[in-house]
Amino acid sequence: MFSDYEGIPRQAKLLIYLSFIPNVAIGFIYTDLSYFLPNVQGLAPTLTGVVGSVMGLTLVALSIPLGALADRHGRRKMLILGNVCASLSLMGFALTTNFVLYLLVAFLEGMGEAAYAVSVGALLADKAGDQRRTSAFSLLAFIGWIAGAIGGFIISSLFALRGIGLGSREAHVVLYVIVGLLNLSITPLMFKITESPVTERRKGILPRKSGNVLKKYVTYSVAIAVGAGLFVPLMLYWFSKAYGVGDEISGPVLGITNLLTAFVVFASPRLAKRFGLVKATVITQASSMIFMVAIPSSPTFPVAASLYLVRVFLMNLSNPLTQSLIMGLVSPDERGMASGITASLWRLPNSLSQIVGYYFIGEGLLALPFYIATLLYAVGISLFWIMFKDARLPEESREGIQPRIQSSSLDGPEVER
């Protein structure tokens, strides 16, 4: 298994290692924000959903123009912009209770997320090369899940902050500011990532060469995004409503989930070699639905958390595989734009469905988000298999140069079934 990670280029490794602290911050905010805003800051659940939607809508609005700028003028600049904005937004959420300011902070967070989304995957694909791309994305996911786990564990430090005399709100504020400053501190190290020379200046805003590939991928992605938005970012809120568990307990539990997922994701390259990227994705994601549909009927918090753990690592085992797939099939000079389109058309439906998820949970309809999500996942995974089952990546072709589709092309309207 470890041999799958040998030979990853030095610059690709540097980019992966620098992702650690930003992923700690991401793990922290996405674990705790759905609890922090309504339960600590006193924001109404529906307005909390609006804040999350603004974050997503900003990402959607800015991903395409930032992706075009990244492809034309440099992806490293977008990476740095994303890290700075994410750091400032973390502190902003803690330092105000004004709803209008929350919307401004949400805009800043969405801009940072967009800048990061259009840069990191494209940069990594450039630096890793075709032969090490899947391994590099798997290592990125491994680091990301461990960092996300730490982000969840950090929430338990609220016990120590309260122990020195801080109230609940003050302890949360201090923690958010510390994490934001820590994330900001690594920005200078990102200048060590070299920018690959641009050999061709792509004209226009939308990708011309990769458009049909992206249409097919986005069709699958939207179905998954809508389903995930109904419950994934709301799990701390759901646990509090279902079992009366606070974030200082459920946050670290989700941290453990992320940690275990990291070691499962480490096996992604071996799984891809055995089954292929597409088949491995379908097998793992379809298996996750069995556990997802069982969560709302769990009698206790430990049972629900255990089922959620299995669901998470089965569903996310394929994340580096799908990232490698899309970066391998699109044209290299359109990777920034492709990353922006896939990120934005994931986040828009995901953010909008969060509002619905908050409403269901707030009204006590605790099982409904999971049942609807299971149906949407089934649709999305089926479409993924139908549209990509014949895909062949550069490293899977004899020439090892151009993407190839056997029998039917992803650039055409028909794919063999």
Whole-angstrom Cα distance, residue 195 to residue 295?
45
Whole-angstrom Cα distance, residue 357 to residue 373? 10
Q: Choose among 303, 308, 319, 226: nearest CA to 264.
A: 319
pLDDT at residue 368 in the model: 96
User: Residues 127, 76: contact at Cβ < 8 Å?
Assistant: no
Token pair belonging to 136: 């590099």
Q: How far is CA 295 from the centre of its chain?
A: 22
Helix ranges (DSSP H) in 36-130: 45-73, 75-94, 99-128
Confidence (pLDDT) at 199:
47
Amino acid identity for residue 117 in this structure: A
Domain ranges of the chain: 2-194+206-405
Quote the CA–CA distance of 178 and 90 in Å, as a whole number.
9
Phi, psi of 203 (to 5 degrees): -95, 150
At 62, list the tokens: 């800015």
pLDDT at 392: 67
Angstrom CA distances, 236 to 28, 46, 242, 269, 292, stand at 12, 16, 10, 31, 16
pLDDT at residue 354 in the model: 85
Q: What is the CATH number of domain 2-194+206-405?
A: 1.20.1250.20
Query: What whole-number distance in Å separates Cα of residue 55 and Cα of residue 48?
Result: 11
Collapse the DSSP code of 260 into the 3-class scheme (helix H, G, I; strand E, B; otherwise coil) and give the result. Answer: helix
Q: Cβ distance 280 to 272 under 8 Å?
A: yes
Instruction: Report the amino acid identity of residue 383.
Output: L
Residue 170 CB neighbours (<10 A): 13
Q: What is the pLDDT along the chain (417 residues), one digit of tens a residue?
A: 556 677 888 899 999 999 999 999 988 887 788 788 988 888 888 888 889 878 878 888 888 888 888 888 788 889 999 999 999 999 999 998 899 999 999 999 989 988 988 888 888 888 887 777 888 888 888 888 888 778 878 888 888 998 898 988 899 999 999 999 999 999 999 999 987 665 454 555 566 677 778 888 889 999 999 999 999 988 988 999 999 988 778 877 877 887 788 888 877 878 877 888 889 999 999 999 999 999 999 999 999 999 999 999 899 888 888 888 888 787 777 777 787 788 778 877 887 898 899 899 989 999 999 999 999 999 999 999 999 888 766 555 433 333 333 333 333 323 222
Torsion of CA 330, 112, 52, 310, to 10 degrees: 60
Is 271 exposed, middle or buried, given 0-12, 13-18 or 19+ CB atoms closer than 10 A? buried
Q: Cα separation of 301 and 259, whole Å? A: 19
CA 253 – CA 128 distance, rounded (Å): 34
Which sign, positive or negative, has the C-alpha torsion 156, 176, 138, 185?
Answer: negative
Residue 59: C-alpha distances to residues 106, 118, 215, 416 (Å):
10, 10, 19, 34
Burial class (CB in 10 A: 0-12, 13-18, 19+), 357: buried
The residues near 49 (Cβ < 8 Å, ≥ 6 apart) are 354, 355, 357, 358, 359
Gap between the Cα atoms of 260 and 239, Å rounded? 20
Contacts of 353 (CB under 8 A, 6+ apart): 225, 226, 227, 228, 229, 230
pTM here is 0.72
Tell me the torsion sign for CA atoms 235, 105, 91, 159. Answer: negative
What is the model's pLDDT at position 205? 56
Largest separation between any pair of C-alpha atoms in the chain: 68
Residue 75 buriedness (CB in 10 A; 0-12 / 13-18 / 19+):
buried
Q: Write the DSSP symbol of residue 311.
A: H
Residue 187: CB atoms within 10 A of its CB come to 17
User: What integer pLDDT is reported at residue 385 of this predicted model?
Assistant: 93
pLDDT of residue 186: 94
Would you say the C-alpha torsion 288, 290, 291, 297 has a positive or negative sign?
Answer: positive
CA distance 175 to 158: 8
